C-alpha cells in the first residue's frame, strides 16, 4: 500500500509539473500580433491542392487569388476598374479587341513578367477543365503578343463574361516556368508570397518584397485550417487567432448564442455568399415541381440557421449585390409557400416515388434537408431520403448521366451561366435545360451596354424562377468575425478571395 501511495504521489507531482511546463508562457495578451503587424486567420476547409487552373474549390479561391496571384485587372465594389498585372488596357468600340499593357514588374520568384507569361496564363485558363473559368473565353478567337509588354485578345462577339473573367480567377497571371509547382507553390505578382502550405494545417504568407504596389501593412499572415467550426470559434475567443473571415451558416446560431457577435466585429458581405436552392429534376412533371416548390417555407430555413442578419429569403438565383436580385415577394415568387395548395396537389402524386439526394457531410445542406423532407412528406409527397457523401454525390449527381435524384439541395456560386444549356443532351448536373433561358444569357453576355445586360439578366432570372427546376430558398451573405482592432477588410473583388493586404491593425 505504501508503494502504491508513493507511486500515486509521484504521478501527481509529475502531472502538476507537466501542467506547469505546459502552461508556461501560455497567458496571451489581447492582440499579441498587432505590434508585429501579423495576423492569424482561420479557414474551415483544406483545398488539398493550390492548382487553381484545375480546381474550382472555394477553399483555394479564398486565399491564393489577389494575395499571391493577381488577375489582369481588379473590379471594385463601386464598379470602377483598377490595374492589376495589366498596367493599362484599351477596349475597342465594338468590344471585340482588348489590348493589355503588361506591368514592368517581377513575379515573386524574381523572374520578370513577360507578354509570353500572360499569353501562357490566358491560354491555360482558356483550356481549364473548370467550366466556370474556361467559359470566360467562349468568345475569344485569338490571344497574341503585340510587343514585349502588350497582349491583344480578339473576340468573335462582345462578351461581358470575358471582361469580368479578366478580374477573376480566369484572368490570373502566373509564370510559365513555375507552372509545374502550382499545386503546392503558386507564384504570382501579388502582395504576398506563399512561404508554406501544409495540408490540413496552415498557409503561411509573407509580404512580397518585390510587390509592385504599396507594401501591405500586415507583413506576415498565418491561415490555420480548422475544420471543426466550434474549435475555430474557440480559438478566436481564446485570442489565438484574429479573425474568422468566412463563417459557414452552420455556426451562425452558435456564434450568436456565445455572443461572439458582440465581442468581435461582425461583418456581412454579399459578394462571398451563396444562394441555397432546391433542385427539382426537370424530368418531373412541371405541375409536380410547382407543387413541391409550394412546400418550401423560406422563413423556416432562415430561422433554422438562427441569424437573420446573414441570409435573405429569395426566389431569385442571385446574391443581393447582383442587379437582377429580388428578395422574396409575391411578384418575385411564382410559386410562393402555400402548404394547403401543395397538400391538395400532392394527392395526385402520392404514388410517385421521389428520391431526395442529401449531402450528408455538408452541414449547410443537410440542415435544410432536415426541414424540407418532412415538409414534403407531411404534404403527402412520397419522398425518401438518400444521404450520401460528397464523393458519391459527385459521382451520382454531378457526373451521373442522368443524374440520380428527383430532389436535392445545393448551394454555390451565384453565377447564372452555370445553368446555360445549348441542347438538352448538354444539360448539366442540375438537369435544367431551357432554350429561352440560354438565349437570354447569351444575349446578356453579348450586350453592348450595361442597361441591355441588366434587362437580359432579369429576363433570364424570370425564366429560371418560373421553370421551377432551380428553386432558390435563401441568399446567404458572407459572414466574418474580426478582432475589433483589425481593420480594413474589403468585400472580395477576385471572386471570393480575402485580401489580406487590405487589413491593418
Partner 1 sequence: MAIYVLRKLAFFLGAVFVASVAIFLLIRAAGGNVAAILLGKDATAEAINALSHTYGLDRPLPVQYYDWLVKMAQGDLGQSFRTKEMVSELVTERLGVSIPLALSGLLLGILIAIPVGTYAARNVGKLSGAVLALISQIGIAVPVFWAGILLSVLFGVRLGWLPTGGWTDWSQSWVGAIRSLVLPVLSLGLIMAAVLIRYVRSAVLDVMNQDYVRTARAVGMTRTQALLNVGLRNASLPIVTIIGLQVAELIGGTVIIEMVFSLPGLSRMILANVAAREVIVVQSTVMLIIVFVIAVNFLVDLLYGILDPRIRNAT
Residues in touch with partner 1 (CB under 8 A): 1-4, 7-8, 11, 18-19, 21-28, 46, 48-51, 54-57, 129-132, 183-184, 198-202, 224-228, 230-231, 234-235, 237-240, 361, 389-392, 394-396, 398-399, 401, 410, 412, 418, 428-429
The nearest distance, CB 202 to partner 1, in angstroms, is: 8
DSSP label of 295: T
Of 322, 52, 321, which Cα lies nearest the Cα of 170? 52
Nearer to partner 1, 49 or 154 (CB): 49
Helix (H) or strand (E) holding 352: none
What SS3 state is found at 440?
A: helix
Nearer to partner 1, 23 or 330 (CB): 23
Nearer to partner 1, 313 or 430 (CB): 430
Nearer to partner 1, 51 or 364 (CB): 51
C-beta atoms surrounding 377 within 10 Å: 17
From CA 336, how far away is CA 325, in angstroms rounded?
17
The nearest distance, CB 176 to partner 1, in angstroms, is: 18
Cis before 402? omega within 30: yes
Cα 68 to the chain's mean position, in Å?
18
From CA 76, how far away is CA 58, in angstroms rounded?
20
207 and 220 Cβ atoms separated by less than 8 Å: yes
The nearest distance, CB 225 to partner 1, in angstroms, is: 7
The nearest distance, CB 35 to partner 1, in angstroms, is: 19
Per DSSP (E only), the strands in 283-436 are 311-313, 353-359, 382-388, 407-411
C-alpha cell at 146: 503585340
Nearer to partner 1, 8 or 299 (CB): 8
Q: Which residues pair with 408 in a beta bridge?
A: 279, 357
What SS3 state is found at 220?
A: strand
The nearest distance, CB 334 to partner 1, in angstroms, is: 25
Residue keyed to cell 509592385: 212
Nearer to partner 1, 353 or 412 (CB): 412
Nearer to partner 1, 50 or 294 (CB): 50
Residues 6+ away with beta carbon under 8 Å from 126: 134, 137, 140, 143
The nearest distance, CB 17 to partner 1, in angstroms, is: 12
The nearest distance, CB 274 to partner 1, in angstroms, is: 13
What is the Cα gyration radius of the chain? 25
Nearer to partner 1, 260 or 376 (CB): 260
The nearest distance, CB 273 to partner 1, in angstroms, is: 18
Nearer to partner 1, 116 or 240 (CB): 240
CA atoms within 13 A on the CB side of 479: 22
- State the burial class of residue 119 (Cβ atoms within 10 Å of its Cβ: 0-12, 13-18, 19+): middle
Residue keyed to cell 495589366: 86
What do you get for the CA distance between the two ends of the chain, in Å?
A: 60
Nearer to partner 1, 20 or 350 (CB): 20
Q: Which residues pair with 269 in a beta bridge?
A: 478
380 and 343 Cβ atoms separated by less than 8 Å: yes
The nearest distance, CB 366 to partner 1, in angstroms, is: 15
C-beta atoms surrounding 342 within 10 Å: 23
Of 101, 117, 103, 188, which Cα lies nearest the Cα of 152? 101
Provide, for the chain, the percentages of residues in helix, strand and coil under a 3-state DSSP scheme, each rounded to the nearest 5. Answer: 35, 25, 40
From CA 240, how far away is CA 113, in angstroms rounded?
38
Which phi and psi angles does 162 have, rounded to 5°?
-65, -50
Nearer to partner 1, 230 or 329 (CB): 230
Nearer to partner 1, 378 or 400 (CB): 400
Nearer to partner 1, 7 or 146 (CB): 7
The nearest distance, CB 338 to partner 1, in angstroms, is: 31
C-beta atoms surrounding 451 within 10 Å: 9
The nearest distance, CB 136 to partner 1, in angstroms, is: 13
The nearest distance, CB 409 to partner 1, in angstroms, is: 13
The nearest distance, CB 194 to partner 1, in angstroms, is: 13
64 and 50 Cβ atoms separated by less than 8 Å: yes
Amino acid at each position: 500500500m505504501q508503494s502504491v501511495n508513493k507511486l500515486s504521489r509521484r504521478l501527481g507531482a509529475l502531472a502538476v509539473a507537466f501542467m506547469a511546463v505546459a502552461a508556461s508562457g501560455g497567458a496571451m495578451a489581447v492582440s499579441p500580433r498587432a505590434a508585429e503587424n501579423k495576423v492569424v486567420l482561420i479557414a474551415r476547409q483544406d483545398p488539398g491542392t493550390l492548382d487553381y487552373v484545375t480546381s474550382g474549390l472555394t477553399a483555394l479561391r479564398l486565399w491564393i487569388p489577389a494575395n499571391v496571384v493577381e488577375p489582369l485587372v481588379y473590379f471594385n465594389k463601386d464598379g470602377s476598374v483598377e490595374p492589376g498585372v495589366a498596367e493599362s488596357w484599351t477596349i475597342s468600340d465594338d468590344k471585340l479587341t482588348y489590348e493589355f499593357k503588361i506591368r514592368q514588374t517581377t513575379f515573386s520568384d524574381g523572374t520578370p513578367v513577360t507578354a509570353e507569361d500572360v499569353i501562357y496564363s490566358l491560354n491555360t485558363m482558356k483550356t481549364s477543365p473548370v467550366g466556370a473559368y474556361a467559359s470566360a473565353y467562349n468568345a475569344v478567337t485569338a490571344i497574341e503578343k503585340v510587343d514585349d509588354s502588350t497582349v491583344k485578345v480578339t473576340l468573335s462577339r462582345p462578351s461581358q463574361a470575358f471582361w469580368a473573367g479578366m478580374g477573376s480567377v480566369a484572368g490570373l497571371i502566373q509564370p510559365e516556368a513555375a507552372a509545374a509547382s502550382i499545386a503546392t507553390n503558386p507564384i504570382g505578382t501579388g502582395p504576398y508570397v506563399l512561404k508554406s502550405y501544409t495540408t490540413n494545417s496552415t498557409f503561411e504568407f509573407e509580404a512580397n518584397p518585390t510587390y509592385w504596389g504599396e507594401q501591405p501593412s500586415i507583413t506576415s499572415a498565418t491561415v490555420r485550417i480548422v475544420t471543426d467550426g466550434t474549435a475555430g470559434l474557440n480559438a478566436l475567443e481564446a485570442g489565438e487567432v484574429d479573425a474568422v473571415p468566412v463563417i459557414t451558416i452552420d455556426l451562425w446560431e452558435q456564434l450568436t448564442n456565445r455572443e461572439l457577435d458582440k465581442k468581435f466585429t461582425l461583418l456581412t458581405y454579399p459578394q462571398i455568399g451563396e444562394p441555397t436552392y432546391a433542385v427539382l429534376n426537370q424530368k418531373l412533371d412541371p405541375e409536380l415541381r410547382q407543387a413541391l416548390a409550394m412546400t418550401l417555407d423560406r422563413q423556416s430555413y432562415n430561422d433554422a440557421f438562427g441569424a437573420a442578419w446573414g441570409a435573405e429569403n429569395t426566389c431569385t438565383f442571385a446574391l443581393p449585390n447582383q442587379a437582377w436580385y429580388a428578395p422574396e415577394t409575391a411578384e418575385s415568387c411564382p410559386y410562393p409557400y402555400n402548404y394547403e395548395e401543395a397538400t391538395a396537389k400532392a394527392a395526385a402524386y402520392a404514388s410517385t416515388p421521389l428520391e431526395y439526394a442529401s449531402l450528408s457531410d455538408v452541414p449547410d445542406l443537410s440542415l435544410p434537408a432536415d426541414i424540407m423532407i418532412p415538409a414534403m412528406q407531411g404534404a403527402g409527397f412520397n419522398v425518401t431520403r438518400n444521404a450520401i457523401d460528397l464523393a458519391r454525390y459527385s459521382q451520382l449527381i454531378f457526373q451521373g448521366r442522368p443524374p440520380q435524384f428527383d430532389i436535392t439541395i445545393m448551394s454555390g456560386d451565384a453565377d447564372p451561366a452555370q445553368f446555360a444549356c445549348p441542347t438538352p443532351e448538354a444539360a448539366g448536373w442540375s438537369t435544367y435545360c431551357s432554350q429561352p433561358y440560354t438565349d437570354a444569357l447569351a444575349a446578356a453576355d453579348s450586350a453592348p451596354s450595361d442597361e441591355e445586360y441588366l434587362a437580359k439578366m432579369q429576363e433570364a432570372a424570370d425564366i429560371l424562377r418560373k421553370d421551377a427546376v432551380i428553386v432558390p430558398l435563401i441568399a446567404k451573405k458572407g459572414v466574418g468575425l474580426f478582432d475589433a482592432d483589425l481593420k480594413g477588410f474589403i468585400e472580395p473583388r477576385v471572386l471570393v478571395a480575402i485580401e489580406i493586404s487590405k487589413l491593418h491593425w
